[in-house]
Chains A and B, each alone.
Chain A
Amino acid sequence: MSSSTNTTTHHTSTIGSIGAPSRRNTELALLVFAVAIPVFAYANVGLAINGSVPAGLLSYGLGLGLLAGVGHLVVRKFAPYADPLLLPLATLLNGLGLVVIWRLDQSKLLQSIHVAGGKATNQLLYTAMGIALFVMVLVFLKDHRTLQRYTYISMVAALFLLLLPLVPGLGLNVYGAKIWISVGGFTIQPGEFAKIVLAVFFAGYLMVKRDALALASRRFMGLYLPRGRDLGPILVVWAISILILVFETDLGTSLLFFGMFVIMLYVATERTSWIVFGLLMSAAGAVGVASFEPHVNMRVQAWLDPMGEYALSRKGVAGHSEQAMQALWAFGSGGTLGTGLGQGHSELIRFAANSDFILATFGEELGLAGIMAILLIYGLIVERGVRTALAARDPFGKLLAVGLSGAFALQVFVVAGGVMGLIPLTGMTMPFLAYGGSSVIANWALIGILIRISDTARRPAPSPAPNPDAEMTQVVRP
């Protein structure tokens, strides 16, 4: 965007401004494509499992198409200059998730253990709620800078959301991780919403404090060492993330929380040293906690030796699970091109096959080629978020866009890395793909905020205000 030209060779260059077109029609075309792909996948699953096109094809396709259409019309009306890719990419992931959840619903084994069965309908309902929240964000949040007013309220709200699962009687202990709450029969993962609220707080806070955090430092071995008192904020956030790890025993939330702060701190201050400090601190914290917290320690052991874990689980030792190894086998049996939709055996993962481990089903049935495409789609969403941050004109919008896309990227990394055995498993879910109301709803809100920021960022600059002096000016020519 800068107009630096190649002047050393004396090229003659022309700089002209390109007005950003609204690109809504591009978005519509991509959206049609993004709805057609899951419909194709749905038909494919039906043909593979039952030998016939599933009866719900039309209603399912219409349902997804309707939701996407509503989203598109609202964007057209309320955010006409928004990024054309965010909505189609999210729609595609959501649609593919629905198909695979439906596919796992068909499994007799999963039905018998009440993991699957009718979940796709629920997920479609959650998607509708997510789109409703997306619409509300776009309609009511006219300018993302209003969020800046709620910086410290956001901090309180985020801490409240993060602490909710620890409230006795409200929190649920689901297989060791305490990140759910139960309200009136519904289970909610407050951490999913906390990540958005936290991004608002970090953006507002860092926008004000970044100069203090960036400038006052000494240089040592190429690194800017911050002064002791400037380490305060990062130490506090680190301590809180460690507390989450100890009390909620969830590596994912802890990593997301701390990682997001480090990313935003780096973007706000442009100091690489924060990343180095962040990595060192999180490594030290994770190792320290894993050495004394039994649940975290068990996860780490299962990560280091999934086969041993599988053997223990086979012997019936309590507290062990074969799912990590089953997931790896699912990826392996998928090979490069996969077994085809509906033709894998990922129901062997049993518990959480359609939520935490849904990526394994994709890996088995679509193979490496499909997984790569899906990870690329996630990457494109993150790229659009970062691009929005680059284009945003106000520092708060920049930081917020980076924070949200950073949180999204971290979540994808934590889940995909956990399922594939790169890092220890966590209790988080793949955004949009996995079964789960909180995740889908919160991520649609996240996409809504990104679309709002990108609309502001890409809106053509208003024509220059007429100078009130210009009329009265007497021009005296020499």
Chain B
Amino acid sequence: MSELTLTVMRLGFLAVLWLFVIVAVQVIRSDLFGTRVTQRGSRRDSGRPQQAARQAAPPPQRQQPSGGRQRRGAPTKLVVSEGSLTGTTVALQGQTITLGRAHDSTIVLDDDYASSRHARIYPDRDGQWIVEDLGSTNGTYLDRTRLTTPTPIPPGAPIRIGKTVIELRK
């Protein structure tokens, strides 16, 4: 075998080996799962979202459940409007959102008045979003009433947990 062929094969083999390593690392890079945090640029001018953005949503219409697809007029995101997490939004995609100080919550509350598993927000079969208090110490408030049972969330109604206020928005 000619020396040249062998040299080319030797270097080629090393290149292929490294290519494999690089491809594997690329797979790891694209292999993120869990929760995605998308920064939408800083808004230093006004720290909190505009209250005016809240508009009277049309009354939710009863509709046949259609495989979890979103209804018209259903909220699409959850916004933290007061408290240390002000400005955080979570996309509502039919998944349950847990709130609390426990580090595996969807929204980890850094709030002395919150319990570790404080409340959860989930869609019922019709796609209506329900908030449920999970036996927290200081309670979860929808508008000004303390929750005792799982309650549907009217659009724009503030949910208060300790010093944190969250709302569902379209």
User: Which residues in B have some Cβ–Cβ distance to A below 8 Å?
Assistant: 1, 5-7, 9-14, 16-18, 20-21, 23-25, 27-28, 31-44, 47-49, 77, 84-91, 93, 95-96, 103-108, 120, 122, 124-125, 130, 132, 143-145, 149-152, 154
Contact = CB atoms under 8 A, between A and B. Distances in A.
Nearest to A36: B16
B20 A92 contact: yes
B69 to A, nearest CB: 15
Given A470-B124, A473-B149, A14 B37 contact: yes
A3 B130 contact: no
Given A10-B47, A14-B77, A18-B35, A340 B27 contact: no
A373 B21 contact: yes
B88 A13 contact: yes
Contacts of A367: 14
Contacts of A44: 6, 9-10, 13
Main secondary structure of the interface of B (DSSP, over half): mixed
Contacts of A23: 27, 31
Contacts of A377: 20-21, 24
Interface residues of A, number: 64
A88 interface: yes
A18 B1 CA distance: 53
A6 interface: yes
Interface stretch (A26-34, A158-166, A210-218, A314-322): A26-34
A285 interface: no
Contacts of A92: 20
Interface string A1-17: 11111110111111111
Interface stretch (A139-147, A178-186, A347-355, A461-469): A461-469
A123 B24 CA distance: 26
A84 B27 contact: yes
Given A341-B10, A373-B17, A373-B21, 16 more contacts: A4-B108, A7-B88, A10-B42, A12-B41, A12-B49, A14-B37, A14-B90, A30-B24, A48-B9, A84-B27, A85-B31, A367-B14, A369-B18, A384-B28, A391-B33, A467-B130
Contacts of A477: 154
B143 A366 contact: no
A40 interface: yes
A342 to B, nearest CB: 9
B38 A13 contact: yes
